Structure 1
Amino acid sequence: MTFNIGAGSLRNLGASVLLCAAMGLGSVAHAQDQAADDGSEVVATVDGVDITKDDVRLAVGEMGEVLRQVPPNQQGEYLISFLIDIALVSREAEKDGLDDGEAFKRQMAFSRNKALVQAKLAVVGEEAVTDEAVEARYQDAIKDFEAKEEVRARHILVESEEKAKELKAELDGGADFEALAAEHSTDGSKANGGDLGYFSKDMVVAPFGEAAFSTEPGSVTDPVQSKFGWHIIKVEDKRMSAPPPLDSVRKEIEQEVRQLARRDYVQSLRDGADIERPGEEAEAAPEGDAPKTDAPKTE
């Protein structure tokens, strides 16, 4: 059973969080994951200036789609060569005084702010991930979960009714279901002895579902036709569905908590700021309320 916990909330986090993702929070998290490594290890030296592993990690976040086009076994060398070129060309640009230009200064200011945003939102996200917050988010995600009857079944799928009847006769004579499925079934489940796992009635085609859910565990159905062919179904078990335990979805829940915390933090800053945009009339906020802003809707 597929259980997309909290998928709706992830789609509704709003433009602020999407902006943060675009600004490289993923690469920051990667760098944090690698913190145990010695980032100061030198991988190249250009005219006396060292290039370290930390420099390489920063370059990973900047290369994006370009790096994905490089074969994995060549990416390390590609990044180091990229950084060597950066060191050489930037030194020449300084000699030409390009670092004093207004365009360069604007770019540097933007890059500095971007790095600060990454650092601050990374901290905000990590501080939000507490046991209490994760448990609360999990409970909110499963509060509307509706239990459904589920069946675990095996099947043998063949093309003709005649073949299905032959195999049913063998089963009635004591043949092993899993062995026959592995030998004769025409779908991918044959590799697992016809095992389809657990499923609810609405997950399968009607004739198959009606037969499976009306059969007791341990029993084998007569041949059943669907648009895929002819099935012989063995029902293994029945149960009521349940949401996945917290431990099995903890990483996904933690990521939601981080993203929600970042969204709320950015929104709180916008709500408390005096934001004006030329050409737009400012709306007066009711007394006692936070000023209205042009922040995108996040819910």
Structure 2
Amino acid sequence: MRSAAFAQTVLSGPPSATPSGKPEAQPPVPAVNSLVQLADQFDKSSGTIVADVNGTPITLGMVADRLRDLPPQLAALPETVVYKAALDDLIQQRALAIKARELGVDKDAVAQRHIGEATDHALAGAMVQRILPELITEKAIKDRYDAIFAGKPGPDEVRFRVIATTTESAANDVLTALRNGADFAKLARDESRDPSNLDGGEINYTRRDLLTPEIGAVAFALSPGQTTAYPVRSNGLWFVIQVEGRQQTPAPPLDSVREQIVASLTRQADAEISRKARAAVTVKDYGVTGTSGRDTPANAKSH
């Protein structure tokens, strides 16, 4: 909910004005390619106080935390706009929190429960982030790469041409023309309804998982030089397919799959950290009815 409100602010909110009516001066913000990079730069001076609300500070580190909650596409906006909107969001949140305390909302039972849950959530996340660097090392990344990618060829790819028609009859007419010596590329430019018609129907080397099931099954069943014997129906059109080439891609370099590996290791490490933390505590499960109405919790299941 916080991110959605922030996005609306960034997309439609004008620069704030001073009492004189002039736009407020914006602090210099370094140019970066992503919100994460901007947040990382701010973290280098995380203790810097950039604003205060009723004497309570808002730091650059808090702005960095807010930036990491946002949709990455907002990085396309000017960094100064993103920074100012994040700061305004934090100021608004702080103002609401101050008012809530003035009204005694922080003493409400539901609010207390939410505060406790938010504290647990923040501490759990911080603990995991502290441990992750010990588990996701360069050695761990390299070992995972060697186990999954190194020395192993990538997926098969095929290069082929298509001619798409709106009816099966028209597709059969295309097949007849091809059998009589017509040029596939010219027919594709003249007859095909597929966007590839401008390139003579050519689809460059592609993996099967990037194709529709129907097209993929046929294209990967044919050998180079072969054409479908019958039209193939897919996405409401009838396709004539001619395979031109087949190749097996080499193993991807480590840098191209690093993010994928890190994400996998992170999920695995997160689960392992959670499992060990759970194993280190005693849990008594009193069931959905709790302990109310019972003489003793002795029958509770322990985990």
**Fold-level match, TM-score > 0.5?**
yes
Opposite residue 164 of structure 2, the aligned amino acid is L
266-275 or 53-62, larger mean C-alpha shift: 53-62
Opposite residue 161 of structure 2, the aligned amino acid is R
* 2:121 is aligned with 1:114: yes
* 2:173 is aligned with 1:162: yes
Q: Distance in 1 between matches of 2:253 and 2:119?
A: 42
Opposite residue 258 of structure 1, the aligned amino acid is T
CA distances 1:174-232 after superposition (whole Å, capped 9, x unpaired): x5x5465344322233355423334559975489828x7454x3x36376422342515
Asked if the contact 2:39/2:68 (under 8 Å) is kept, the reply is no
Q: How does 1:1-299 map to 2 (within 5 A)?
A: 34-37=39-42, 46-47=53-54, 51-59=58-66, 79-95=86-102, 107-138=114-145, 141=148, 151-158=158-165, 159=167, 160=170, 161-166=172-177, 169=180, 172=181, 177-178=184-185, 180-196=187-203, 197-199=205-207, 205=214, 209=218, 213-215=221-223, 217=224, 219=225, 221=227, 224-227=230-233, 228-233=237-242, 235-240=243-248, 244-278=252-286, 281-282=300-301, 293=303
Change (3 A) 1:252 1:54: same
Q: Distance in 1 between matches of 2:54 and 2:60?
A: 18
Asked if the contact 2:161/2:244 (under 8 Å) is kept, the reply is yes
Q: Distance in 1 between matches of 2:300 and 2:276?
A: 22
Scaled by the length of structure 1, the TM-score of the pair is 0.57
Scaled by the length of structure 2, the TM-score of the pair is 0.57
Q: In the TM superposition, what is the alpha-carbon distance from 1:167 to its structure 2 partner?
A: 5.7
Change (3 A) 1:243 1:118: same
Query: Relative contact order (alpha carbons < 8 A, sep ≥ 6): 1 or 2 greater?
Result: 1
Q: In the TM superposition, what is the alpha-carbon distance from 1:122 to its structure 2 partner?
A: 1.3
Change (3 A) 1:139 1:193: farther
- RMSD between superposed Cα atoms in Å: 4.6
Asked if the contact 1:124/1:258 (under 8 Å) is kept, the reply is no
Q: Distance in 1 between matches of 2:221 and 2:61?
A: 58
Change (3 A) 1:164 1:77: farther
Q: Distance in 1 between matches of 2:148 and 2:101?
A: 54
Opposite residue 184 of structure 1, the aligned amino acid is E
CA distances 1:107-143 after superposition (whole Å, capped 9, x unpaired): 5444333222111111222332223322443455569
**Identity across matched positions, percent:** 21
Asked if the contact 1:157/1:231 (under 8 Å) is kept, the reply is yes
120-129 or 196-205, larger mean C-alpha shift: 196-205
The number of residue pairs the alignment matches comes to 240
Q: In the TM superposition, what is the alpha-carbon distance from 1:261 to its structure 2 partner?
A: 1.0
Q: In the TM superposition, what is the alpha-carbon distance from 1:260 to its structure 2 partner?
A: 0.9
CA distances 1:146-191 after superposition (whole Å, capped 9, x unpaired): 988653222223341224444665xx47x5x546534432223335
Stretches of structure 2 that go unaligned for 5 or more consecutive residues are 1-34, 287-296
Asked if the contact 1:154/1:194 (under 8 Å) is kept, the reply is yes
